[in-house]
Structure 1
């Protein structure tokens, strides 16, 4: 009972802080019919600067990081991304009315990572004075790419099997996969990986990571990116709050299972990430803050890199299913659940 009370008090305290306050403020404005909007080019610039900041800080930290300390949580991030997609596939494809492509696209999006949710988690830990490894941002692409690759490859494999099974009278079928150049093979997996790495979010993050690792961007980081970070994040939360409210109407177009999934999956996925983080903590001394952020990444669903990647790779999937579920329900739940992971870390690990 005391544990539940502590979590409730932590959540109430976090609701009053800028990160969540701006998210809720955006939702309230949208609910009241406000015409306030942030121009799309400005939004893209905000996202670019946030990802560059996360990548630069991760790259500079990796320069000094112990490879073993980095490798174990990185493997945990990969494993979490794959497990989340497989779990989503198992749950969603058993529900009536959920198509193979819609289910896999939704599972892939929820297995991938929201950079803005990760940034929100970092901001909350900074506000609480909870330390975490500087290379945490480098774990983002490990989970993101693993989840998207798993979802896309499984969806295409399933589609190919169904096309072969429903072949002509002679028992044969010609399988042509869009953008794959033929059946499922090494070239297809390579193409999927290349497309994912070329997505704007992953490209910006990897650029920042590379510059932080190979160059010496400390001065521009401290004078430009770091001072702007919290202000830009507050604007991003405002935009996401308004978008989350507007997309709630999309849920009327899809099966009710997506509503249940969007509300419950972030918590379950966060527990998976927390479990892998706790394992890394016992193996390598991974910090409590690092465990929290691994849970945050697992609970989040991609709002930047995932949708365009899935739209290009799985054009048959209905965007209102996976984007509406993710942005309209998954992202707010993931952000609101961050205090839960902080409270659990304090309970099981200590600050």
Structure 2
């Protein structure tokens, strides 16, 4: 276990992330232009989506039915569990929903780092796992935003006891604006759109996309993680202001939900590598798709809380400790 963690820690993607943190802490003038940062995010979304679609085209529906069911279960249940857990800590409702959306969704970059880790240790995984990233992220964001809108629309009419627990009626469950924000947000649109394009074109797309979206993927991921290190380093100070309960949440939740993900993947019949990636999906926290939706949908939620915890605590934890841990858990279960 220690050797695997050390090997992961010394990988280029992790070291460049650490370099970004050091640059931020030392107040270096190293900065990524906003346009470049946005372009790197778009690149990763398209690369993961289209590769997942191409891989998915190689399988029959019978092969992926159980993993899809496991992913939809995780993407639906995790934000609900997080919301209930945080309400028990007396965190206000807006920030509880913000963290439920962030931690219920997935980190595409952590997933990409996990793929690099599996390649490095020589462990194969199911090719359709890239497609499952999209399927898990979508319900997590949708469930969280639906919970938010339900609470917002019922806040004035729900009894005090219900408001305290965050329980609401379902009269606004299918709010059109909620569905629009969840499905047509940039991240989901690019992931789902790229996935469908790859699924439709199949092998025919490889000659055109291989030079950019396959051969250069690892190099672009290094650039993105360097930028993420800068952002995480800038938010470390904010993380210290959250209090010990939220700090513990940022460290314990990835382990608990990562374990749940590995278990779900194992039950669904995934290989060692596939179950590891399922654990990564369940244990990671989004800092691209979910915050983009929260920015307009939950304006009262403090970004320094959900982004600070996701980037300052959970992301480094998963990158250094979590990925090797999920790998060992999957190995133990199988």
Normalising by structure 2, we get a TM-score of 0.90
Query: Does the 8 Å contact 1:251/1:321 carry over to 2?
Result: yes
Q: Does 1:40 align with 2:25?
A: no
Query: Does the 8 Å contact 1:112/1:147 carry over to 2?
Result: yes
State the distance in 1 between where 2:124 and 2:158 align: 54
Q: Does 1:247 align with 2:241?
A: no
In the TM superposition, what is the alpha-carbon distance from 1:32 to its structure 2 partner?
2.1
Where does 1:199-348 land on structure 2 (aligned, <5 Å)? 199-215=185-201, 216-281=204-269, 286-336=270-320, 337-348=322-333
In the TM superposition, what is the alpha-carbon distance from 1:63 to its structure 2 partner?
1.1
Number of residue pairs the alignment of both structures matches:
322
| CA-to-aligned-CA distance 1:139-161 (integer Å, 9 cap, x gap) | 11221121122222223333444
Q: Does 1:62 align with 2:48?
A: no
In the TM superposition, what is the alpha-carbon distance from 1:184 to its structure 2 partner?
4.2
Counterpart in 2 of 1:197?
183
State the distance in 1 between where 2:306 and 2:29 align: 26
RMSD (Å), alpha carbons = 1.9
In the TM superposition, what is the alpha-carbon distance from 1:275 to its structure 2 partner?
1.0
Query: Does the 8 Å contact 1:19/1:124 carry over to 2?
Result: no
Counterpart in 1 of 2:67?
73
Where does 1:11-22 land on structure 2 (aligned, <5 Å)? 11-22=5-16
In the TM superposition, what is the alpha-carbon distance from 1:253 to its structure 2 partner?
4.5
Query: Does the 8 Å contact 1:114/1:303 carry over to 2?
Result: yes
| CA-to-aligned-CA distance 1:217-276 (integer Å, 9 cap, x gap) | 110222221111111011111111121111112224544422121121111111111111
The worse-fitting range, judged by mean Cα deviation, of 68-77 and 299-308 is 68-77
State the distance in 2 between where 1:165 and 1:137 align: 41
| CA-to-aligned-CA distance 1:192-224 (integer Å, 9 cap, x gap) | 232122222222212221221112211022222
State the distance in 1 between where 2:105 and 2:221 align: 20
The runs of 4+ residues in structure 1 deviating greater than 6 Å are none
